[in-house]
Structure 1
C-alpha cells in the first residue's frame, strides 16, 4: 500500500493565530470591537482599517506564547500519521524558531521533530497533500493536491480544493485516494452532485433530471444576483438559514441550504445540485453523495459562456477557473459526456440500475 505525504500549516490550521491577534488588538485599543471576520484578506489591509490595527500584532511574541494546539487538532495529526508521512510547515521568524519547536514537542509529544519545517517558501516543498489557510501558498503550491483551509481572509477564493474543517479534509483525501478504484453503486435516495466548469451543461442536466421526476432540483441561495443556479435572499434571510456549505465571492454570500436537501431525501427522491468540489465534499459529511463530473469540450463550454448575458469580468473569471475545475474530474465517482443533455441524463439514471 502506498504511503502518502502531508504538509500541514501550523498557524490557523493547527493553532489559532489571527484570533489571538484580534484579542490583543481589542484589549489594547478600546472601542475597536474587532472580530476575526474583519480580516478580509492576507496582509495588513487598508490604512486605518480594523485589519490594519490587528496586523500590527502579527509579529508580537505574545501570540506565539498563547498558541495552543487543540485536542481536536492533536487527534487530526495523529490520525493523519496513520495514513502517511506528516510534516508541519510553519512560517515563523528565525528568532522564534526555538519557541516553535518547544511548542510542538510539548503539545505533540509523539510527533517527530525532524518533520517540522520552518520556512516562508512553502511552495518549495513537494508532497501529495498540503493544507494551508494562506491562499497565496495554495496558489503557488508544488503539492499534488493543495487544499485550502477556509478562513474569513480566504473566502473570496474559489475554483480550488477547499475544506472547512478536519473532517472534510479526511473525506476529501479519501475521495482522492479511492475515486479511481471504488465502483459506485448508488442507492435511492442520494445526492447527485454535478461538478464541472461553467458552460458544461450542469444546470441543464439538473433541470432535465428534475423534469423527469428522477430527482428534486436543489438551488443554492445568494445575497447577490439571482441566476439559473442561485435563488436570491436578503442578508437577514441568509443569516437565518442552515447550510451544508457556504462561501463569499465578490462581496456576496452563497450557500447550499440543508432543509431543501433533507426534504428531497425524506420524500424518497434523489436530490440533484450543480456545485463545486468543495460543496460536494461538505455534503458527503451528512448524506450519500455521488460526485458526477460533467465533461464537455473547451469549444462547447466557451460558446455556452459567451452566449450568456455576462459582463467581461464574469467571463474572465469563468475562463480562468476552467482549467482548475477540469482537474476535478479525477476526484469524481462518475464522468459523463455532458454536451448532449438527454444522453447524459440517461447515463446518470442507468447508474441506479446496475
Structure 2
C-alpha cells in the first residue's frame, strides 16, 4: 500500500556508538514430517523440548509448522556463528524427537497435507480473525531471516533505515531461497517475497523521522490497517521491544555462511551509513519505480538478475553484491570482517544462492521434491556444528 509520511526534519539520531555495532539474528524454520517431508504442525512439542535449553530464545510463529530461534547480540562474527549453530543444534534435536526434520527455507517445497493450524494464543487469534480473508486465500507458510543491528535511539534507527534502504534489494537477492512452493517451481528465486507482500505495510520503509514514524504507525493502528505496532512489516523498521533496527528482506537459509554473511553486511552497511549521517549527508532517494524493479528482480532472479539498472547507490544481482562490499568495505575492515566476508561472498557467487542449490538438488534427484527437502534438512543440520 502507499503510505504518505510527514515531511522529514533533521532528527536527533543519538550518539554514534564508539565500539563495534552489535548484531543479532532471528531465524524461522519449517518443521517437516520425517516420512512425507510435508510440513508438520508439531511446533508445541518441539518448542517444549527446545526451551529446556534455549529458554525464550526458542519461539513460536504464526503457524504450528514453524519455529523460530533468536541469538543474543554479538560484536564478533565468531560468537554469532557459534550462537546460531548451537540454536540450530538444539532445535534440530527437538524436531527429531517429534519425528520431524528442521528445514531452513523460505517456503515449503512440498504442500502440507491439510489446512494449516494457527498457533494458539490471544494475539495470533486476533490476527487470524482480523485478516481472515487473507488467510482464506490460502496464504502459504513463509520463513524469513531477520537481522537486528544495535542502535542508541529510535531516531538513529530511522535515520539508518533511510540511508540503508536502496541497498536492501542486494541483501534480498543474496538470500533468495524459496523457488518451490507446495509442489511447484514458482519461477522465482524468492517466492516468499511475493506472498509476504500480501500482508499490510510489507515493503520498503518510507523516508520518515521519529515524529513522522509515530504519526504514521499510530494512524495505521487507529484505522485498523494494523492490529498493533508490532505488525509493521517494513523491510527496515525500528524494533518495538529492543533497541535495534531490524532488516526483514531475507529468506531463511540452510547454509549458515549465507546467514552470517547477511548479518555482517547489514552491520557493515549500518556502520558506513552512520558515518554518512554524522557527516550530514542526505539519505539517497531512488525513484520508487526503480526501487520496486530492484526488489522484483531480486525475487525473480536472486543474484542472477540480468537487470543492471541502478536503483540509487546499488545495482542489481552479482554486480550489486560487489558494489555493496566496496561501499561497506572500510566498516567491514574496522569490525574485522572484511576478509571473511570477501571469501564468503566469493563462495556464494561460485555455488549460487539457496534457490540455485534447491534447483540443483531437484535436477539431481530426477525431479523429486523430497530430494530438495532432504538436501535442505541435511544442510541445516550440518550447520549445527
Question: After TM superposition, is the score higher than 0.5?
Answer: no
Give the number of the structure with larger relative contact order, counting CA–CA contacts within 8 Å between residues 6 or more apart: 2
Structure-1-length-normalised TM-score? 0.28
Max radius of gyration: which structure?
Answer: 1
Larger relative strand fraction: 1
Q: Which has the higher helix share?
A: 2
